[in-house]
């Protein structure tokens, strides 16, 4: 595992930006987060390393775009149905170790 400093911006109507210290394990970026209710959880961006490219003239820095498809449940006419939505992120990270 490699230690990294990262910045992840969720794109869309509700843009959220996360930044801090995380880890690269194989091709995954692993970061610790806290939910709106104050509960800690681990967020894993699977295979995001292959979507990030090296930043010119900055050794150890990488950036790129990453997208994932999430399944959500939506209430419709008293019942729930499952829908898939696509969530896009801009990712930047710098390897520190």
Alpha carbon distances (Å) from 77 to 30, 74, 80, 81: 38, 10, 8, 10
Q: What is the mean predicted confidence (pLDDT) over 27-39?
A: 90
pLDDT of residue 8: 92
Distance of CA 89 to the CA centre of its chain: 6
Q: Please report the pLDDT score of residue 55 as a whole number.
A: 93
- What is the extent of the structural domain holding 34? 2-95
Task: Give how many domains the chain has, as a whole number.
Answer: 1
Give the tens place of pLDDT for each residue, 40-63: 999 999 888 888 999 999 999 999
**Does residue 97 carry a pLDDT above 80?**
no
Q: How far is Cα 65 from Cα 51, in angstroms, rounded to an integer? A: 6
Q: Is the pLDDT of residue 3 over 90?
A: yes
For the chain, how big is the Rg over CA atoms in Å?
16
What is the average per-residue pLDDT within 21-30?
A: 92
Cα 95 to chain centroid, rounded: 16
């Amino acid at each position: 595992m490699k230690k990294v400093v990262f910045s992840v911006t969720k794109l869309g109507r509700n843009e959220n930006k996360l930044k801090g210290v995380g880890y690269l394990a194989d091709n995954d970026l692993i970061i610790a987060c806290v939910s709106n209710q104050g509960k800690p959880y681990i967020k894993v961006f699977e295979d995001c390393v292959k979507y990030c490219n090296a930043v010119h003239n900055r050794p150890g820095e990488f950036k790129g775009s990453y997208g994932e498809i999430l399944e959500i449940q939506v209430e419709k006419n008293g019942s729930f149905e499952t829908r898939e939505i696509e969530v896009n992120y801009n990712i930047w990270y710098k390897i520190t170790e």
